[in-house]
Structure 1
Amino acid sequence: MTQHRKRNKNLGLAELIAIALGGMVGGGIFTILGISVSLIGNLTPIAIIIGGLIASLAAYSYVKLGLYYKDEGATYSFFKQTYPDSNFLASAIGWFIIFGYISTLALYAYTFSSYAISSSAFADSIWVRKSVALGVIAIFTTINIWSVNGMGKIEDLMVYTKLIILTIISVVLINHGTTDFGSFIKNMTLDLEHSGLFSILIVASLTFVAFEGFQLVINAVNEMTNPEKNIPRAIYSAITLAVLIYVVISIGALFAIPTEEIIKNKEFALASGAGNVLGTLGTNLVIAGAILATSSAISGTVFGSSRQMSVIARDGYFPSILAIRKNNSPQNAIIAMALISSVLILIGGLELILEFGSVTFLLVSLLMAIANFKIRKKTNSSTFVTLLSIIGLSIGGILILYYELTNNWQQMLAIIILYLFLAFGAWRFSRKKEKNHV
């Protein structure tokens, strides 16, 4: 999720949309495409659209709470202010959101690595892939430690450049595809008969993490013009544009690349497919797009989430050493983020990281919807839409757990253990804070 730096100017609608798109289109499509096609084939665009609808439901409460509190702390601050008497709830939301960011950091680093080595002799080596992922995290950690500005000066350029590259890739794949529209619709019908609506909903939930990033708009509430109008406009416009980008790319891939190849090379499917269509130029173009997208996402995630971790530590819900700043840079928090995400890369594969990230952000979004429901009169929220958000996000989380239980119970066990660890950590620090205030 690309977190943007403080600006010295007022942010208008176009810039706010760029912030949200930079967060969402940060390597997500490169990650979810292969996994989605392996599960539901040509129905992938439909799952993406449903995922966008789920993201819109999640965004509703963020928008309402953002307009009510106008606090750049967003998720953590909203929940803490809505439930001011519960140290445990404040601690839990802090732990969940930070580890959600850690999972996306691991996801982007893993995707960067998969594409960076996709045209080499080490493309199928899991340990080379993990080593490169650890290396890229180390590089951006160093950048953020030694430079307060990090890569902030070029992030806007990176956002727009990667969107242009993704558009070019999509158009080229569609134009050079061997599948015509009629055959594509026929294949969709066959896949629907084989997979069914239930499988589509599971994939929409599994890939929810690809839509995370829209809430970064709220982080800039103190720097934007007319937040009452621009927060909802920017967030909903960005989600719509992200859906369009993802759908067009997925259709282009399905037109031009055999599904068997997408499934076989699901961790770098676009690079492999573009290489077959356009040769080395196509492969290099996709690799450049993936590296650019994930680089901006990694840098931004390290920058933004480490600062939020520092704030939560300052409030007493993480070790106090993580709150220490040097030259306004939370260096200890940056190192902690890098180390924990590196451990996640070492112990899990792409699917575990993806699913943990999706479950975490579905859970955090659900908690935001519950908080919004509690103060719905103050936020002037629709009871129906808020309840619909709670139901939709709950179903999404349950579907992921069901998929894990029926397909890979060991992976589900790993996710449950991670959550028990998070809950225990949140409980310990909330108890510690309560004792200190007795």
Structure 2
Amino acid sequence: MARGREGDESESGTGSVLGLAGIGEGGKGGRSAISRRALLLGVPAVSVTAAVVLGVVAEQSENARHRRALNPPVNPGPATARAAGTLAGPSAKPAWSVVLERSAHAVAVASGTVVLVDNYGAVRGFDPKTGAAKWQPSVEFFVNDDSPLTVVGSTVYGSDDDGHFMAVDASNGTLSWQTQFASSGAQIATVAGTAGPNVFSTGEIDDQSGGNGHGVLWCVDTTTRGTVWNINNVDYSLAVVASEPAGVVVTADEITYKLTAYSLKDQSVQWRKEAGNAEAVGIPASPAACVAVSGKTFYWAADKLYALDAASGDVRWTGSAPNPGSEFQSVIVVPGQGSGSADLIVATATSPSGGTLHAFAADTGALQWVEHGGPKFGSKTALTAGAGVVFAAERDNGSVFAVDAKTGQTRWTYHDPTISADLTWSVAADDARVYVAYGEHLLAFEP
């Protein structure tokens, strides 16, 4: 099984053709990663480098709108003295830390366990109080760049590179069950989004005639442990979010900045929504995190932050960032932290003049607070929340910021000056701690 070295982005040289810009990590089949642009153009299975080059040559107009955000200045690191409206505060020390055998890819909390998937796909479990290993890995997921870990109750869902949708018991790390989407040719990009007992997945089925494959959205019933339905020829997406009250599931195509909502009942298209300024914005740095849901409202990070009626797609409100040329990147819902215990919508934005962290009232879109980060804040910045605190892990600067959800005040910061920007940073939180995984490090902090 050919895989790259831990912590090195070159390890994505083998993997799913659905990896964004050719990013995906190797699996048993040794598939070569092909960029999304190559897929759109019908480029055959060539090397990652060749696919990207061909995509750039053939899509000059699209590439032009993406180029601006790719090389902002290097972040010099957070300050220790806080100025008004800036992400800076006292330094924090971890409650515990663990040196990992391999670099981390993603972290989640489930069933009293910190679940970590390393960049080889091994699913590991740690005690949230001490960091001690709870069990040794017996299951291996396929690892696709930026794909999240989906947790429902005590189960962690993922996939392998043979087209299996997999359910892992978070209490002991064993495989509870799995189902295969196709006997061959199924490549799963992500497992994300839930509605009742249903969990969703996107990916691709190879064209048996030898042409490029087609995108698929699968719906899996976790009670019957089988596929309920699938929709073919969907847009490429790492973001899948469902609103059970509204009866729809939405996918986000981050290349064209378009949302498509499908009926949970009959899978018909209910509505589509495009960003109002799609030609001016670049590819999201965190495409899997560009949509969130609360009740019957979707929150979409694009040229603006859109609050959309989940049933109709109508715009309820939009939020803007203060800096010219800003692009919203990732968004989360923080329950009960808004005015009168309403929900709070927290989102990151990037711009040529610096990144920002925003909080909006979920029902009205009224700006609650905004904090300014460094030049690259918001680009590859992972968000989570717990115990009334928003946590932002900034990959390019190697930092974590803990921000009071109600006030926007920075409680503490953590910075690792020794870490390369090439590493993936992932965060997860419960009511007692936040867990930060990057490189060969797993850390826990108190809120």
- Which band: TM-score by shorter chain? under 0.3
Which structure: greater strand fraction?
2
Which structure: greater helix fraction?
1
- Normalising to structure 1: TM-score of the pair? 0.24
- Normalising to structure 2: TM-score of the pair? 0.23
